[in-house]
Structure 1
Amino acid sequence: MVKRLLAWFAILLFAVFSLYPIVYVISVSLRGDNAFQTQSLEIVGPHSTFKNFVSLFTETDFLLWLKNSLIISGVTTFAGVALASCSAYALSRYRFRGRNMMLFSLLTTQMFPATMLMLPFFIILSQLHLIDSFWGLFIIYSSTALPFCIWQMKAYYDTIPRELEEAALLDGCSRWMIFTKIILPVSSPALVITALFSFMSSWSEYVIAAVVLQDPQLYTLPLGLRSFQASLATQWGLYAAGALIVSIPVLILFISISRYLVSGLTMGSVKG
């Protein structure tokens, strides 16, 4: 009984620590720009208002930043799923010269942070005249997310019995039909994980976007929210309101695909 009470107390304690930052951001978004000067612990006080949320949509380019982020994240997610699913299938099912070296190279790239590759990326994009364009971000985000996505998809493909494909070949199916009609539907949990990782790698990324994008009309949400911070003052109310709205798509995405997360991450870890 005592152990159970201690376990519940520990869970409650961690829940409080986890929820407190979210509650505090909500409180700041409902106050004015002097939110950090108040000593009140009230979340919704007598002077709380939705003015910051209204100003965010009417007085800033938040909708433009949202559109830019949706475009970049959507294209990156589509490219990540398409390229990773095809590449991983080839690495899982075919044996060819250089296959092991390719897998090792993909694994090695995960040892280095993306920021370490900024200089060579910047030089390449400059030579291709892709600085200050969405295409430059597409290339960087997709190339940095693909190694993990390919390994994740390959591990999942390895758990799918080859007998399914052999039976389909005997029935007259082509390799492309087997891949699209049998393998991909069975691999839906892994595809969801790949899509989620690709989306998250671009949705809230700031450092690479700050280097590649200079035109304010191309700003993504992280860059746009950063503009609320000036050298002498910071619009904390707008910043908190924007942070809450930015988190909503991610929250909806996690809730909608939660049933795929565990199976997608664990089934590929052990070959059946």
Structure 2
Amino acid sequence: MSQASLAGASHRTTTMTAPVDIVTARGRLRTGKPWRVVLNVVGILLAVVWAFPVYWMVNSAMLPNVVLEKTTPTLLPFGGSFKNFQAVIADGSFFKALGISLSIAAIVVVVCLVFAFLAALAISRFRFKGRRSFVLAVLFIQMLPAEGMFIAQYKLMAGLGLLNSIVGVSIIYIAAVVPFTIWMLRGFVAGIPADLEEAAMVDGLSRTQAFLRITFPLLAPGLVASGIYAFLQAWNEFTVALVLLDADNKTLPLWLRGFIQQSASTSIDWGQVMAASTLVAVPVIIFFMFVQGRMTSGLVSGAVKG
């Protein structure tokens, strides 16, 4: 058979198989599209289920207690008002508790990030005697139940004269949060190749300059994630604050419990309770609005160019 005949046969085979391939690809797209629609619907339903308690809290905070006590639920706050929020804010103890919680959370986040960052760098980038034992100790500390250390923590703070103080509570929180924060940051630091710093040093930067200009910006997602963990632990903690603080100094969780108990002395005003719960959640929402961009950004996206 001549070369022309072979070329013609090959061309006919290509032209015959190409439409078949296109039809097969289209069929796969058609069969895959319904599954994508189903997954999107399931994702939306899960998001609604997750967000509904938050919506119900805010919705109930807008309604008077008479409406909330009815057997028929009110899904939309038509005719609602901000009177419940005004009643909660009128109690001056809210702003005092807010200031205490913000102070403790700020101290815990800053100190934890500094200590955990340095420890994570030492574990990931250096080899030293006792390194493995240190890592095991960090994990072991996380296994200790917090309730078993209340008496020792109370006596320690009493001996240091730090009972009923922001510093005393912050020290206990830092000791509880730092181990896991070290473990979180260790994974982020280990995920950044040391070759990036070495390449920058070849270009004329010192080791410190290479770290600050190349590695440190890439650690931003890890620092944000660790900061969020430390913030939530300090913001939501209840039992340690209950042990170390008195009735005059309360964090927001203690204040919210006292507010509910005060309402229960007569009849619980659920509208005001929901308004108080919403006000406790607002700082967390604001915090996430500022840091969510860093959480979703890539760790080393675009760091290495081909």
The TM-score, its normalising length taken from structure 2, stands at: 0.76
Letter in 2 for 1:238: Q
Q: What is the Cα deviation at residue 195 of structure 1?
A: 1.0
Identify the residue that residue 111 of structure 2 maps to in structure 1. 79
Identify the residue that residue 234 of structure 1 maps to in structure 2. 268
Identify the residue that residue 173 of structure 1 maps to in structure 2. 206
Identify the residue that residue 206 of structure 1 maps to in structure 2. 238
The answer to which structure, 1 or 2, has the higher relative contact order (CA under 8 A, 6+ apart) is 1
Q: Taking structure 1 as reference, are residues 122 and 189 closer, same or farther at Cα in structure 2, changes over 3 Å only?
A: same
Letter in 2 for 1:20: F
Letter in 1 for 2:77: V
Identify the residue that residue 55 of structure 1 maps to in structure 2. 87
Alignment of 1:113-262 (within 5 A): 113-167=145-199, 171=204, 173=206, 175=208, 177-216=209-248, 218-230=249-261, 232=265, 233-262=267-296
Q: What is the Cα deviation at residue 179 of structure 1?
A: 4.2
Q: Taking structure 1 as reference, are residues 63 and 148 closer, same or farther at Cα in structure 2, changes over 3 Å only?
A: same
Q: What is the Cα deviation at residue 35 of structure 1?
A: 5.7
Listed one character per residue, the Cα deviations across residues 49-104 of structure 1 (whole Å, up to 9, x for unaligned) are 21111122223421111111111111111111111111111111111111100001
- Are 2:252 and 2:280, in contact at CA under 8 Å, matched by a contact in 1? yes
Q: Taking structure 1 as reference, are residues 264 and 34 closer, same or farther at Cα in structure 2, changes over 3 Å only?
A: farther
The TM-score, its normalising length taken from structure 1, stands at: 0.85
C-alpha RMSD over aligned residues: 2.7
Identify unmatched segments of 5+ residues in structure 1.
Answer: 268-272
Q: What is the Cα deviation at residue 143 of structure 1?
A: 1.2
- Are 2:104 and 2:166, in contact at CA under 8 Å, matched by a contact in 1? yes
Identify unmatched segments of 5+ residues in structure 2.
Answer: 1-32, 302-306
- Are 1:192 and 1:264, in contact at CA under 8 Å, matched by a contact in 2? no
Please identify, of 12-21 and 62-71, the stretch whose mean Cα deviation from structure 2 is larger. Answer: 12-21
Identify the residue that residue 18 of structure 2 maps to in structure 1. none
Q: Taking structure 1 as reference, are residues 133 and 7 closer, same or farther at Cα in structure 2, changes over 3 Å only?
A: same
Letter in 1 for 2:285: L
Listed one character per residue, the Cα deviations across residues 22-54 of structure 1 (whole Å, up to 9, x for unaligned) are 2221232123345652223223144x2211111
- Are 2:221 and 2:297, in contact at CA under 8 Å, matched by a contact in 1? yes
Whole-Å Cα distance in 2 between the matches of residues 35 and 68 of structure 1?
Answer: 34
Alignment equivalent of 1:44, drawn from 77, 101, 107: 77
Whole-Å Cα distance in 2 between the matches of residues 178 and 172 of structure 1?
Answer: 6
Residue 289 of structure 2 aligns to a residue whose secondary structure is helix
Equivalent pairs counted in the alignment come to 264
- Are 1:80 and 1:146, in contact at CA under 8 Å, matched by a contact in 2? yes
Counterpart check, 1:17 vs 2:56: no
Whole-Å Cα distance in 2 between the matches of residues 32 and 141 of structure 1?
Answer: 38
Residue 228 of structure 1 aligns to a residue whose secondary structure is helix
Whole-Å Cα distance in 2 between the matches of residues 206 and 95 of structure 1?
Answer: 39
Whole-Å Cα distance in 1 between the matches of residues 258 and 300 of structure 2?
Answer: 40
Q: What is the Cα deviation at residue 17 of structure 1?
A: 2.5
- Are 2:219 and 2:299, in contact at CA under 8 Å, matched by a contact in 1? no
Identify the residue that residue 270 of structure 1 maps to in structure 2. none
Identify the residue that residue 108 of structure 1 maps to in structure 2. 140
- Are 2:197 and 2:207, in contact at CA under 8 Å, matched by a contact in 1? no
Letter in 1 for 2:43: I
Residue 130 of structure 1 aligns to a residue whose secondary structure is coil
- Are 2:68 and 2:271, in contact at CA under 8 Å, matched by a contact in 1? no
Identify the residue that residue 100 of structure 2 maps to in structure 1. 68
Identify the residue that residue 27 of structure 2 maps to in structure 1. none
- Are 1:28 and 1:35, in contact at CA under 8 Å, matched by a contact in 2? no
Which has more radius of gyration? 2
